[in-house]
A and B are shown apart, each in its own frame.
Chain A
């Protein structure tokens, strides 16, 4: 294999990996703090994509500065994150924290089914296209192939999100509270931390990140039914590979999955999905706690 192909695979992999990271990071944040796997995350992604596509179509009809499109995405994601954060966490999960972890996953699966149909009721089955932002940024030629800068900017966005989250978690007061809750929920509560509030804020943050993933992806894809179902299981794979609740894990996990998939797509397209879940299974077999989960003492 020549160097140019390798470069293309690498760039492709990074782009796809950053898309995965954007979706998986919200999932892993929720997973780390609330210790639950949140299937509704896929619906948040889909909502983010749909709302953004709709708003962008409206936005480009009026004569406002074109780069405002990015503000539209951010607004859509924030709006959805707060709205669904409150609805799902307050309305559903709050009543289930004492339940078995499987039951909570199943409850979010049920909520996901409901949201999928709400999505269809609002937007119908037709695909939505809003590719204008793609044209705004132009394209770059790498190894003889044109890559649009929009996709490349996704790598940048992921890096920014990862850095902000890292800083927020390790260098701010809220982050310290969060770490205390992650470490020991009951003790944190006993120390006077309002765990209920932390849970709600975390869920909103995670939902916002999921919606942002969808929002930023919206111009690059055809927004149609089924994108949520597809993305959530990929995000699960990334989160499991990186270690549930680990942000660096999600970063590395999405890069691994992205590059592996790019390899498959360029070399043997039939293996595209196969590789991703093979890695997931392999990680679960060799290191079930994930590649980057902190070491824990055995209880037995």
Chain B
């Protein structure tokens, strides 16, 4: 498949253009919802990468939190507010952590993998919630973000952050898509289906999982850094506690694993339902979220993207009927 025929790349680029255009028309609150869904979508994209090898992590708030806290601590202790530098540091820190823990985690499958991840994330939570130097349960407030020598204020800053986040996320999504198309990326499915056979073919399942894990850690850090800049504040309860990890898995399930664009769409829908429910029905917003998740599990177990697949499948079936041969 050449670059020009790759529908996903086209889809991502159209999405980029659409979001950049939206920037001129949407109100402030919606822009921050969009930015947050890009952040959460990135983490869910990391989970998608893992899920393709049949693994789910109940602790990705760890990498999200590390990304966010790196940004927060740099702002507080070093006075560094440059978006490029802080995000890069957040991503690299999370990636290094994932690389280190990956040596352990790559040996685990199934529920043990999920739970060990949860244990690690709760260790970080335990540290962050109790240490005064790291902001304790109050968290850390960030200074105003700057972009190299450009230092906008107020509404302009929010716009700048949005544009910045959209472009970066586009780049990240394209990279992940290309990675998943590569041989190493394609091994995910092989790990899930039959790891022993993969071993006999001369590939190492553990190394494939490790690579996936680092990718997902990097994505988690990226999402966390973007979220920290968007919210302007980091705290353990809304960023590292276990329900946050649950929310990421929620978005991943909601989206489905079909395509790299799916997590972003899923995250946007998640964010919209959440905001709407929180605004209109503050008493029962969790009930609405839980109900949505249950409905997805029961009626759309492969996520929203399965709707796209189903539609394509129908189109292909019609084409087969007409021409009498399978569409390539």
Contacts and interface: CB of A to CB of B under 8 A. Distances in A.
Interface in A261-292: 269-278, 280-281, 284-285, 288
Contacts, number: 121
Contact of A240 (B115, B196, B283): B115
B71 interface: no
Given A280-B122, A288-B108, A270 B130 contact: yes
Contact of B110 (A101, A112, A285): A101
Contact of A109 (B122, B127, B246): B246
A111 B111 contact: no
Contact of A121 (B111, B241, B284): B284
B290 interface: yes
B115 A118 contact: no
B126 A272 contact: yes
Given A102-B111, A114-B294, A274 B286 contact: no
The interface centre, meaning the residue of A107, A237, A284 with most chain B CB atoms within 10 A of its CB, is A284
B114 A113 contact: no
Contacts of B99: none
Interface in A48-103: 92, 95-96, 99, 101-103
Given A116-B286, A118-B287, A284 B196 contact: no
B301 interface: yes
B242 interface: yes
Given A114-B286, A117-B286, A285 B253 contact: no
B298 A106 contact: no
Does more than half of chain A's interface fall in helix, strand or loop, or is it mixed?
A: helix
Interface string B184-216: 000000000000100000000000000000000
B126 A273 contact: yes
Contact of A120 (B122, B123, B283, B298): B283
A92 B285 CA distance: 20
A227 interface: no
Given A111-B290, A274-B126, A288-B112, A117 B119 contact: no
A273 B122 contact: yes
B284 A117 contact: yes
A195 to B, nearest CB: 21
**A-B pairs with lowest CB-CB distance, top 10:** A273-B126, A113-B290, A110-B293, A117-B287, A114-B290, A274-B126, A277-B122, A281-B119, A270-B130, A280-B119
Interface of B: 56, 58, 104, 108, 110-112, 114-116, 118-120, 122-123, 125-127, 129-131, 196, 241-243, 246, 249-250, 253, 283-287, 289-291, 293-294, 297-298, 301
Given A102-B114, A113-B293, A273-B125, 17 more contacts: A95-B298, A102-B56, A106-B253, A111-B294, A113-B286, A113-B290, A114-B286, A114-B294, A117-B287, A229-B242, A229-B243, A240-B115, A273-B122, A276-B122, A281-B119, A284-B108, A284-B116
